[in-house]
Structure 1
């Protein structure tokens, strides 16, 4: 082995020890989360509703219903998930945190409510993102482990890549008929190789979700540095001093109607009315239900309903489109069930790599000890013979 590969092996081994447990946890939780929509749909009846063919009730009516149930709550976010899915309102209850309230979008009747921290998949998501540590600490622990894992994948390819062309066919297959240690070795190397490209995409999109500088770097690279990020994404603010010309109808209703009229093909809508964000009311119109890419957005003055800014999908820069795809790419839903299965399998392989790698290390350590024992025995026999013969 060359000195270069010895250095690569040293880095691969010890970086694996440092990050292995975190990589295992993050990968396993990623596997579980991949099919969370499908699993929850099968488990919970409140996640589906009958499409009556009637128009949706107005957002203001959903808010009024929720306000009766939560008089002191602030219904800041309103979701219309789709024609056969419920509407939902995220209520800020102050010190008690947030509640999700699900309603029938055709009748405004409350069908279910829950605190996010009691939902199994939300817990899985928080483990995935923060290891249940405080977010400011947890995201750095996970982020550093993911960066180390990227280095491990690169060093692993360097160490494993066969020198001779004649060895490549053998190196790309798992020898299922071999001894279990050989099978474990192949599982680590061969599966690691096949999963690397997908794992790199999952790692980079995960880092982009957690860290704005990574997201900004992707934005700038896709746009070749020609588009100003702040100009494109900065949300407008309504002027609280200019309350003249108050809208005749609730602005959230006007905003929702405008979005439905101008993006009639959209399946899902998200309305934000959080005064802490900008004072404006925004509506996001999404092409597919439960998918968060391919969105067109509108911002309205909170007092008179005037359109302040439009984020038309077709007019967005390539960088912004790519940023908005981060979540759908990361969870594997960007192209439907096929990519979900690919993301699931890649995450499962990533979870196995620290385990198979540790077994390889244990095997080599045990083999080194076994080799050292005969050497000590031979030395002992030679010394004993020397004492007997006096030679």
Structure 2
């Protein structure tokens, strides 16, 4: 739509207000956006990058002749033999393909209250322990592996405790406002759409910087908005879910708790995976959550499976939550269920949207490129601001001389 006359003047005056908001949000939070973007782009392919950096630990050679995995109970048992007695099995990552190792996470408490996080790697065909890595200690400032460092920088800015979730969640919310105000400022009021959507050839350095900022901002907006919102949801679910429940009921799988039973031991993680497999025989397990932290006694088992091909949902990922003592299923996170609410379908989409995995390799590449656009937006935005500030200073100097 093209505007003229008085209406055009009114809209330009209003856009000046939004430009000021966009400018200051960009200057204050643009560096954080660049951090989120670069680290997010790395994490889109974190498994592939980690395997490339540590092939002897994370990759295996599948034997010929249609070899299959050894029993899960044996894989978990051999992994436990690589850590001190009393180590808690907190998490497991199922191999993402036939040439990847099992990743088993353990929490080890040592004398003096120090806690260590270890990751053990097992060849599922031979039951050979490929090695282990110390991921982090309770007295270390940073994770001890590259991907671990990137993960913590991305979701917590390397800040310990609940303060990190507040800072990350609030900054992401303000960045959503920055993106929306950028779209308002970008909107071509005079109807010159081609000029708004393209970079001018053979332009000056200042014009090239401006075009790069506005085009990178426009083309990344469609991906950036859901990625930022899903980030808020994942770090501040206790704040987001109640808002969603105003519109539709939501069950959040991390809020379920096991009921300790006197004299009864927890079922094994392998048994939890087997029970999830009874509900969903198809697909490949991916993440398996065990017991950890202050809620160890009441923690649940959560088994997430990928490639669960079934009618009723584009997404092929489901998560089954069960009581760690009785094995009773407490929740099934599956948008294809007949009783799944709109709120549950919406929340189920947040991780696939954030990682790009909801749309396969195409989605991952789009999220990857959008992440790389973030530092471009920050740098070109700062340069644009410096250009305008210098121009204002020159005008003031010339007016003073006159």
Please indicate the TM-score interval, normalised by the length of the shorter structure.
0.7 to 0.9
Q: Which residue of 1 aligns with 2:140?
A: none
8 Å CA contact 1:79, 1:87 repeated in 2: yes
Instruction: Give me the whole-angstrom Cα distance separating, in 1, the residues matched to 2:330 and 2:174.
Output: 41
Counterpart selection for 1:235 from 256, 262, 267 = 256
Q: Spell out the pairing of 1:236-275 with structure 2 (5 A cutoff).
A: 237-241=258-262, 243=264, 251-274=268-291
Structure 1, unmatched stretches of 5+, are 379-391
Structure 1 residues 122 and 293: CA distance shift in structure 2, 3 A: farther
Cα distance, 1:293–1:127 mapped onto 2, change above 3 Å:
farther
Aligned residues of 1:199 and 1:350 also touching (Cα < 8 A): no
**Paired residue secondary structure (2:303):** strand
Displacement of 1:321 in angstroms is 3.9
Take 1:220 and 1:120, find their aligned partners in 2: how far apart are those partners? 38
1:386 maps to which residue?
none
Pair 1:127-2:127 in alignment? no
Go from structure 1 to structure 2 and tell me whether the alpha carbon gap of 1:234 and 1:56 turns closer, same or farther (over 3 Å shift): same
Matched, 1:78 2:78: no
**Does 2:42 align with 1:28?**
no
Judge conservation of contact 2:300–2:322 (CA < 8 Å) in 1: yes
Which of these residues, 105, 128, 132, is aligned with residue 109 of structure 1?
128
Rounded Cα–Cα distance in structure 1 between residues aligned with 2:36 and 2:108: 30
Report the counterpart of residue 381 of structure 1 in structure 2: none
Find the counterpart in structure 2 of residue 339 from structure 1. Answer: 363
Paired residue for 1:58?
A: 71
Instruction: Report what 2:200 is aligned to.
Output: 175
Structure 2 counterparts to residues 280-291 of structure 1, below 5 A: 282=301, 284-288=303-307
In the TM superposition, residue 44 of structure 1 has moved relative to its aligned partner by 2.5
* Structure 2: unaligned runs, 5 residues or longer: 1-8, 136-142, 309-314
Q: Give secondary structure in 2 for the equivalent of 1:115.
A: strand
Cα deviation per residue 1:201-259 (whole Å; 9 max; x = unaligned)?
Answer: 111011111111454157537xx42x3537x875353441364xx89xx7444433333
* Structure 1 residue 145 corresponds to structure 2 residue 164: no
Shift in Å at residue 283 of structure 1? 5.1
SS in 2 for 1:102: strand
2:262 counterpart SS class: coil
Counterpart-to-counterpart distance in 1, 2:154 and 2:217: 21
> How far apart in 2 are the matches of 1:57 and 1:15?
54
Q: Which residue of 1 aligns with 2:106?
A: 91
Any residues of structure 2 matched to 1:290-301 within 5 Å, and which? 294-297=317-320, 299=322
CA distance in 1, matches of 2:257, 2:25: 45
Shift of 1:312: 6.7
Output the TM-score relative to the length of structure 2.
0.80
Give the secondary-structure state (helix, strand or coil) at the position aligned to 1:93.
strand
Aligned partners of 2:333 and 2:158: how far apart in 1? 37
Q: Work out whether residues 69 and 125 of structure 2, in 8 Å CA contact, stay in contact via their aligned partners in 1.
A: yes
* Equivalent runs, 1:12-27 vs 2, <5 Å: 12-27=22-37
SS in 2 for 1:336: helix
Alignment match, 1:387: none
| Residue 262 of structure 1, CA deviation | 4.1
Match of 2:82 among 69, 72, 97: 69
Larger radius of gyration: 1
| Contact persistence 2:250–2:341 (CA under 8 A) | no
Q: What SS is found at the alignment partner of 1:162?
A: coil
* 1:85-110 CA distance string (max 9 Å, x none): 22222111022321111111233221
Q: SS state of the match for residue 245, structure 2?
A: helix
From the superposition, tell whether residues 137 and 251 of structure 1 become closer, same or farther in structure 2 (CA, over 3 Å): closer
Partners in 1 of 2:40 and 2:28 — Cα distance? 20
Normalising to structure 1: TM-score of the pair?
0.82
The alpha-carbon deviation at position 54 of structure 1 amounts to: 4.2
